[in-house]
Amino acid sequence: MTAYVERTCAEIASGRKGEPALLKDYRESDAYVLLGEPGSGKTRSFQEEARQTEAGLYVAAHDFVELHRLDEWRGKTLFIDALDELRADSPSPEPLGRIRSRLDELGRPRFRLSCRDADWYSSMDRDDLAKVSKNSQITTLKMDPLSDDQVRDFLAALEVDDVDAFMDAAVEDGSAPLLGNPLTLELWVGAPADSPRPQSRKEAFETSCRSLVCEHNPRHARRRKSLDADAQLDAAGRLCAVALLSGKRGYVRCPTEPSSHWIPIDEVPGNREVFNSILRTRLFESPTVDSFVPVHKHIAEFLAGRYFASRVAANLPTARATALMTGFDGVVVSPLRGVWAWFAANCAVARAELIDGDPLGVVLYGDVKQFSVDDKRRLLERVRGHIEDNVTYIQADWHSPRWADMATKDAAELIHAVFSTAPASEAGQLVALLLADAPQRQTFPGLKPLLLSIVRNESLLIFTRHNALRSLIRQFQDDDALADLDHLLTDIGARRLADGDDELAGSLLCELYPQRRSLDEVKGFFHLPENLNLFGTFQYFWTTVVPDKANSSEKAEAEGLSERFQQMMMQAHHAGGDMRAIV
């Protein structure tokens, strides 16, 4: 990426996401793992953090395990990027073992490791990595999507002429949810000015890939074999599919020796002249002389999924295509979930089968916005079944802005039904949690009362209610919405509305103080939190928001309250938590 803005992330502990914090706040951490969706900016953030960190060094995971530059790496804070790409060569925990071995060989230095959500094996990976961490601890961070302010900064860095007009148009035409992903946003900005505005991630990728495959230099254009854009994208998709299915990095011309990581372009069945021409487009880049890799893995997955869809349209049986991406158990292998998801996004004929095969992956790594209501209903049913069959709690890395794509206006009735039936089972509540937690920049009719009803529904999981409140606060800032929030806080204070861990109150206090609630009014909520071990919104309010936002006349009192709160917390921890009567 050419643009960069400072990023935030949320710490994941005990299967739960914390509050957003700047990535740079973790520079003193001995070891952390940064998870994120494809194109979320993990690589760019690691490169920038390595530059800003004393003795920081960026290194790709492939290079870290294959090269032997111990003298260069020793004593550094290592930013090891893209465990997922290493696992694409070997879809098992084994690649992490090679990283652990190298870290141990280096004397357990400070390190950071990035990975896609789907390729992170949660507690198993974390426990294994902790054994080579200096303090035997691993912090797990989840990259946040770009906020509105970050989107503005990003667009300014990309030299967009009128940032406000760009964002206003995205809200008006319903494409605003696309703005949170840096890769999608960058592709969108780079698309031809006369092309229609994308209405979905699929359209954004399609438009951008058509731009990238075009030759803008007239001399080179004359030399290129005459192919229309669809034929060129099909050829590019074939190359991407072959590389991804075989677990290779890319292609080489004129190979000097056999390699387990590269495919000689002459060995790919098809038109050799066309393939060589495609490798020279901006869809590929050359890390070394005569080697070619897709410009981004997510683009490669999109093109490969598009290619499979075109083959099915040309009468290739769906089962033939899916067999190439599944293991002996019939389950799609982890490194190919992105291809599978984009296959589903591009192929309505095979979509039901692809949804059944990997419902979560179809949401997290493709584009479900333009799915029919029946497809979305099937998808939510399969996700619910997956939760019932495989886990007893929701995985923190399932939370994604991609869930917002489900909430289109034509699916409003379906989304309402999810929440109205959610209390019947824990799995139903967890599906509702995924939808409620999705950061959206557009709404459908009736969303505000729906979110309010979720917050007030005490039969739902507190996590679901809290995330519905966060979504309500993010999306509605008008006077009526603030009055609704004020009523919620009043009911919590009067014990008319249950707040199991004080997190509802914490979020409301952070939003309403000091504009709608004075310091005297919020003092009624001054108490030890229900969960002393949770540093959530309630603790954040008393330790940070109160002293920072107080006006000059109340500054001393606010700082005194904050200090007193922290002292109470310390005393309670030392006393084993038996100090609830302290006020």
Determine which of 42-46, 179-183, 261-265, 508-512 has the lowest per-residue pLDDT on average.
179-183
CA distance 466 to 482: 16
Quick one: pLDDT at residue 359? 94
Domain regions of the chain by residue span = 8-143, 148-213
Contact 366, 344 (CB under 8 A): yes
Residue range 464-491, pLDDT digits in tens: 888 889 888 887 888 898 999 999 999 9
Residue 118 or 195, more confident: 195
Q: Which residues contact 378 (CB under 8 A, 6 or more apart)?
A: 352, 355, 356
* Helix segments in 247-350, DSSP class H: 272-279, 297-313, 318-323, 337-346
Quick one: pLDDT at residue 396? 60
Indicate the pLDDT class of residue 220, thresholds 50, 70 and 90.
very low
Q: Which two tokens stand for residue 391?
A: 């886990």
Alpha carbon separation from 536 to 16, 21, 79, 355 (Å, rounded): 11, 12, 28, 35
Quick one: pLDDT at residue 223? 45
Indicate the pLDDT class of residue 416, thresholds 50, 70 and 90.
confident
Q: Torsions phi, psi of 68, nearest 5?
A: -135, 70
* Cα-Cα end-to-end distance for the chain: 51
Determine which of 137-141, 239-243, 247-251, 528-532 has the lowest per-residue pLDDT on average.
528-532
Determine which of 332-341, 347-356, 465-474, 548-557 has the lowest per-residue pLDDT on average.
465-474
Collapse the DSSP code of 293 into the 3-class scheme (helix H, G, I; strand E, B; otherwise coil) and give the result: strand
* Helix segments in 181-317, DSSP class H: 182-190, 201-213, 218-223, 229-246, 272-279, 297-313
The residues facing 21 across adjacent strands are: 9
Quick one: pLDDT at residue 214? 72
Quick one: pLDDT at residue 218? 45
pLDDT at 564 over 80: yes
Indicate the pLDDT class of residue 433, thresholds 50, 70 and 90.
confident
Residue 507 or 577, more confident: 507
Residue 94 or 48, more confident: 48
Residue range 56-95, pLDDT digits in tens: 999 999 899 989 899 999 999 999 999 988 876 554 447 8
Quick one: pLDDT at residue 582? 43
Residue range 142-179, pLDDT digits in tens: 898 888 899 999 999 888 888 988 888 777 666 676 68
Mean pLDDT score, 546-552:
91
pTM confidence score? 0.72
Contact 48, 34 (CB under 8 A): no
pLDDT at 411 over 70: yes
Indicate the pLDDT class of residue 1, thresholds 50, 70 and 90.
very low
Q: Which residues contact 66 (CB under 8 A, 6 or more apart)?
A: none
The residues facing 78 across adjacent strands are: 57, 111
Residue range 296-346, pLDDT digits in tens: 888 999 999 999 999 999 999 999 999 999 998 889 998 899 999 999 999
**Which helix (H) or strand (E) is 217 found in, with range?**
none
Q: Which residues contact 543 (CB under 8 A, 6 or more apart)?
A: 562, 565, 566
Q: Which two tokens stand for residue 170?
A: 């995205």
- Which of 526, 543, 500 has the alpha carbon at shortest distance from 580? 526
Contact 460, 432 (CB under 8 A): yes
Name the residue with tokens 């070394």. 288
CA distance 409 to 445: 7
Helix and strand numbers (H, E) in the chain are: 29, 11
pLDDT winner (highest mean) among 43-57, 110-124, 180-194, 389-403: 43-57
Contact 23, 34 (CB under 8 A): yes
Quick one: pLDDT at residue 463? 80
Quick one: pLDDT at residue 448? 85
Mean pLDDT score, 42-69:
94
Length of the chain: 583
Tell whether domain 8-143 is in CATH 2.30.30: no
Name the residue with tokens 């309630």. 538
Quick one: pLDDT at residue 371? 96
Share of the chain above pLDDT 70, in %: 89
Quick one: pLDDT at residue 26? 95
171-208 core/surface letters (b: 16 or more CB in 10 A; e: else): eeebbbbbbbbbbbbbbbeebeeeeebbebbbbbbbbb
Residue 232 carries which side chain, given as an amino acid letter? Q
Mean pLDDT score, 126-136:
92
Residue 15 or 245, more confident: 245
